[in-house]
Structure 1
Amino acid sequence: MILYKADDALMCKVFAMTLRGAAQDWFHTLPSTSIGNFKEFALIFTKEYTSYKTVRKHADHLFNLHKKLDESLRDYLRWFKDEKANIIGCNDQVAFLAFKKGLPTEHELYQELAITPSQTLGEVLATAERYALWDDDHIAAKKASKKVDHPKKQASQKSNKFEQKAQDKHRSQPQEGGSKTGAFTEFAIPIHQILAQVKDKPWVRMPLPLRGDPSERDTNKYCAFHGEHSHYTNNYNAWKRHLEEMVREGHCTEFIAKKAIQHIEDRDVAAKEPLQRSLESTPF
């Protein structure tokens, strides 16, 4: 060093030999004879690279790190370790407190760290690694479950669309036992109450279970005819049509409203009139 200080030209050449990469490229862009001595060289170099200086972070910076809701524990742990590595002389107790503070209070790892606070930072990070492994398995299982459920959900949606089309087509057609406008017999009590009284009778045919995913049905609506959530009993046309069939067979007549009984009698008389006229006009 004594020799270098005594010879500016030699010191400049030796310093230039230590430069690498972009710094070396910068040195070769300097105009010829633009540097007169080593002090001038050091001033130019410092001025050029002052903006490249990295500002050291303080340990308090770690308290700004927080695990995001959609972030895995593995990613948060990796992020925390990277940030801590940039802090020289970071106190382990401060790092432990910052790591715990960055976790959601409802997280299992936070609860364990709160119960056993007297741990070294190494022990804390080792515990976090074990939880991260469990978290990784949980995320992988969840993704695998979505892949399996996706085809089932598509099939269920297709089935529901098919059933909906069939129901829409049926609604557009006149209902057997009713008028051409699709009207049904009027009863004195709601039809779900009729079902409650006759469901155990041998002449009542209960329907097949509903198709589709039960988790996608409206749980606010209940059908006693199916015994499942999806729609209201009083709005289900299949039960209304079955009631019409049972009325024609002579069942459930005690539930028919008085004005509806008169309508049925008038309808039966009108249906018998053509047959009666045909018998009267036939010679024997």
Structure 2
Amino acid sequence: MPSRFTRPPYNSYDGKTDPVEHVSHYIQMMSLHTHNDALMCKVFPSSLRPTALRWFNGLRKGLIHSFAQLIQEFGVRFVTCNRVPQPVDALLSMKMRVRKTLCNYVSRYWELYNEIGGDNEKIAASTFRMGLLEDSELRESLTRKPPDDIR
């Protein structure tokens, strides 16, 4: 370890969440050291909680020769925890619930929209409007003058 190295504050991986997100977060937190492959490998186990650490400690000696290979093995081992992206048509199932606030609907809608990703602005604007209560003034307004984009 370099003499002035201090471990950045990253989340510990528990073996239950998306390994791709963990690796992305780890790389981001170690961004000043990504050029140092050996350091990236040496520090990685400190980002693991007991279940994942047992996997790491069980790796055959000499199996890993680079950080890229370590991450590949990590991804293979925890592949069942990968988060599956929602399909775009999941937005069609979003409806504002009776006796729920617009704020509640907006929060649920945009949370789902952000999980989908991609360039779906036209679909998002349309499905958002269709999910509003039929007698909603906002729905009526958005029907009369559809927005040009999400913003």
Cα shift at 1:35: 3.1
Match of 1:64 in 2: 93
Distance 1:52-1:90 versus aligned 2 partners, 3 A rule? same
Relative to its length, the structure with more helix (as a share) is 1
> 2:76 aligned with 1:75, yes or no?
no
CA contact (8 A) 2:129 2:139 kept: yes
Aligned match of 1:27: 53
Q: Specify whether residues 100 and 32 from structure 1 end up closer, same or farther in structure 2 by C-alpha distance, changes over 3 A only.
A: closer
Q: Give the structure-1-normalised TM-score.
A: 0.34
Residue correspondence of structure 1 range 13-162 to structure 2 within 5 A:
14-19=40-45, 21-22=47-48, 26-27=52-53, 30-31=56-57, 34-38=60-64, 44-122=73-151
CA distance in 2 between counterparts of 1:93 and 1:81 reads: 14
How many equivalent residue pairs? 113
Partner AA of 2:150 in structure 1: L
Q: Give the CA deviation at 1:21.
A: 3.4
For the 8 Å contact 1:16–1:27, the answer to whether it is kept is: no
Output the amino acid matched with 1:57. Q
Separation in structure 1 between the aligned mates of residue 75 and residue 59 of structure 2, nearest angstrom = 19
The 1:30–1:79 alpha-carbon spacing in structure 2 relative to 1, beyond 3 Å, is closer
CA distance in 1, matches of 2:110, 2:133: 18
Structure 1 Cα separation of the partners of residues 78 and 143 of structure 2: 46
Give the superposition deviation at 1:13.
6.6
Find the aligned partners of 1:118 and 1:42 in 2 and give their Cα distance. Answer: 43
* Higher RCO (CA 8 Å, separation ≥ 6 residues): 2
TM-score (norm 2): 0.59
Shift of the 75–29 alpha-carbon distance from structure 1 to 2, 3 Å rule, reads: same
Q: Match of 1:47, SS?
A: helix
Distance 1:12 1:32 in 2: 19
Show CA shifts across 1:13-35 (max 9, x none).
Answer: 74242355335862356557733
User: What is the distance in 1 between the residues matched to 2:83 and 2:59?
Assistant: 31
Which secondary structure state, in structure 2, belongs to the residue aligned with residue 121 of structure 1?
Answer: coil
User: What displacement does 1:62 show?
Assistant: 1.1
- Per-residue CA deviations over 1:82-129 (Å, capped at 9, x if unaligned) read 11112222321110011011112111111111111243221xxxxxxx
Partners of 1:32 and 1:121 lie apart in 2 by: 48
Post-superposition CA distance 1:55-81 (Å, at most 9, x none):
112322211111110211011011111
Aligned CA RMSD, in angstroms, stands at 3.1
Describe the shift of the 1:62–1:90 C-alpha distance in structure 2 as closer, same or farther (beyond 3 A).
farther
% of aligned pairs identical?
Answer: 16
| 1:57–1:86 CA contact under 8 A, matched in 2 | yes
What is the alpha-carbon distance in structure 2 between the residues aligned to residue 110 and residue 61 of structure 1?
19
